[in-house]
Chain A
Amino acid sequence: MSPDARELKRLRLAKRIAREFPDGAVVNLGIGMPTMVAEHLPADRTILLHSENGFIGLGPKPEKGGEDPRLVNAGGQPVTVVPGACFFDSFTSFSIIRGGHVDYTVLGALEVDEQGNLANYMIPGKMVPGMGGAMDLVAGARNVIVAMEHVNKNGDPKILRKCTLPLTARAEVDLIVTDMAFIRVTKKGLVLEEIAEDTTVEDVVRNTGARLSLSGEIGRF
């Protein structure tokens, strides 16, 4: 896949996720692909972004020269805040998270499975960076959205019957949105609700390592 084609798919994914948030939602976006969602929030709704290092009301990157060392996002990058933002310490920030006051969290994944289990923080022996705030976010946010590419670099499915990597949280994922599909995690398993405009249901099924049931009418995004 060319870089442009990949970027286009990521863009489509970000736009689709951005449509999920109702007016007034408080949303935490993870590092990487989820961050793109911030650029596509619907203009007719007020969505406030939570940054777990200590504020609600995350704004865009500052102009060059306008960086403030006291104001960075959860990835350590300089940011701004929007009017109406508020700052707080880590204890308050994670009370907001665990207490169910964050409406949506959007995170990347290494693997996600039929039970809504998520693995996204380590590969034993290879990548052990620490979980940071991810475990708290997934356990605490009201809705957990996984945003990722449908298959890994080798073309293998990342949506599995059962995760093989150490879990970030058990049975907390509500929605999986990839470059190919929009899948809801239900008590009865995974339900395919929408597919990307350049794919087919068969293609999605072929690239998924878990059982998918189809919703009545498959939408497109």
Chain B
Amino acid sequence: MKPIMTAEKAVKNISDGATVMVGGFMACGNPFTLIDALIKKGSKKLTLITSDTGYPEVGVGRLICQDRVEKLIASHIGTNPVSGRKMNAGEMQVTLVPQGTLAERIRAKGAGLGGVLTPTGIGTEVENGKQKLTIEGRDYLLELPLGADFALIKAEICDRYGNCFLPKAAKNSAAVMAMAADHVIVEADNIVEPGDLDPEKVTIPGVFISTIVKAVLPASNLDVPK
């Protein structure tokens, strides 16, 4: 059985300077309860690894706007103007990674691989400083594994072994992030007993999960001002 605790207690060890992955895509699938707890805890100088920085006042975007992030690794920051502003002002170091490459680098870490070879980014600025290999006549970039101290993810259902069901388009990056962090905290709308989640419906195997938190904030990214 995995420990169940409050969000406040679950994020207690996320210290200043920690590397944190946050699941979600354009706020869909962001763990709102855990992000809120992390902001209240006051951790700073985080390295944040996430698909995108969403919107200024919603979900993962709040970490950017409230100056909690020193380094950002993401694929897209365009929908949160604060990210671009901080990047241009030199207040936040930003590494932009193609979305598929980001997923593969995280998966590589979680899967015990030394990296991945991808054609994405060949002939672009993304290839700068990277080793290039030609396999069967096609050029590939060697992209290195990417891990974190913590991963914060959101599930709709989680059983007490940590097995998670993530609905619809909210699976996105959480599934690989859960593999690649030393400590994985899942916030779940419903925490159920073993056997109450159909094994056929498990999106993320419980073996990857460290800690379970009951979601107290609703997963709504729909009230976002557009």
**A positions within 8 Å CB-CB of B:** 51-55, 67-72, 74-76, 78, 87-91, 93-94, 97-98, 117, 127-136, 139-140, 166-171
Q: How far is the CA of A84 from the CA of B219 in the complex (A)?
A: 26
For the complex formed, measure the closest distance between the CB of A21 and the CB atoms of chain B, giving whole angstroms: 23
Cβ-based interface call for B124 (8 A) = yes
A-B contacts, 21 of them at CB < 8 A, read: A53-B169, A54-B25, A54-B171, A67-B222, A71-B28, A72-B169, A76-B221, A76-B224, A90-B100, A90-B103, A94-B100, A94-B103, A98-B118, A128-B77, A128-B84, A128-B87, A128-B96, A129-B84, A132-B78, A166-B124, A168-B124
Instruction: Contact check, B121 vs A139: say whether CB atoms are below 8 A apart.
Output: yes
Neighbouring A residues of B29 by C-beta, 8 Å: 70
Q: Which of B173-209 contact A (CB under 8 A)?
A: 173-176, 203
B211 within 8 A of A: no
Chain B residue numbers with a CB within 8 Å of A90 are 25, 51, 99-100, 103, 171-173, 175-176
4 residue pairs, one from A and one from B, having the closest CB atoms = A129-B78, A170-B123, A94-B100, A76-B26
Residue of B nearest to A171 (CB): B123
Query: How long is the Cα–Cα vector from A76 to B75 in the complex, in angstroms?
Result: 14
Residue in A54, A139, A167 whose beta carbon sits within 8 Å of that of B169 in the complex: A54
| Chain B residues near A (Cβ < 8 Å) | 25-29, 51-52, 54, 74-79, 84, 87-88, 96, 98-101, 103-104, 107, 118-126, 156, 166-176, 203, 219-222, 224
CB atoms of B100 and A136 under 8 A apart: yes
Q: Which residues of A contact B124 (CB under 8 A)?
A: 135, 166-170
In the complex, the number of residue pairs spanning A and B with C-beta atoms less than 8 Å apart equals 157
Q: How far is the CA of A54 from the CA of B172 in the complex (A)?
A: 6
Nearest to B55 among chain A residues (CB) is: A76
Chain A, interface SS category: loop
Whether A167 lies near B175 (C-beta < 8 A) is no
A128, B171: Cα distance in complex, Å: 27
* Given A129-B84, A166-B124, A171-B123, 14 further pairs, Cβ under 8 A: A53-B172, A69-B28, A70-B219, A76-B27, A88-B171, A90-B51, A90-B171, A90-B175, A127-B78, A128-B77, A129-B79, A131-B98, A133-B75, A170-B123
Residues of A contacting B156 in the complex (Cβ-Cβ under 8 angstroms): 70
In the complex, what residue of chain B is closest to A73 when comparing beta carbons? B169
The answer to whether A140 and B120 touch across the interface, beta carbons within 8 angstroms, is yes
Residue of A with least CB distance to B53: A130
Residue among B76, B171, B203, B220 making CB contact with A130, cutoff 8 Å: B76
- Chain A proximity of B218: nearest CB distance (Å): 8
Instruction: Name which residue of chain A comes closest to B220, CB basis.
Output: A69
CA of A166 to CA of B122, assembled, Å: 12
In the bound assembly, the distance between CA atoms of A97 and B98 in angstroms comes to: 12
Contact of B104 among A51, A94, A169, A170 (CB under 8 A): A94
CA distance A64 to B107 in the complex (A): 37
A129→B81 CA distance, assembly (Å): 9
B96: shortest Cβ distance to chain A, in Å? 4
Check A87 against B168 for contact (C-beta < 8 Å): yes
Using Cβ atoms and an 8 Å threshold, which residues of chain B touch A75? 26
A40 to chain B, nearest CB (A): 24
User: Smallest Cβ distance from A209 to chain B, in angstroms?
Assistant: 20
**Listed residue (B54, B77, B222) with the most chain A CB atoms within 10 angstroms of its CB:** B222
B132 CB to closest chain A CB (Å) equals 13
Q: State in angstroms the CA–CA spacing of A213 and B127 once bound together.
A: 33
Given known A-B contacts A72-B28, A132-B99, A171-B123, A55 and B168 have beta carbons under 8 A apart? yes
List A contacts of B224 (CB < 8 A).
76
A48 CB to nearest B CB, Å: 15
Please, how many angstroms separate the alpha-carbon atoms of A170 and B88 in the complex?
27
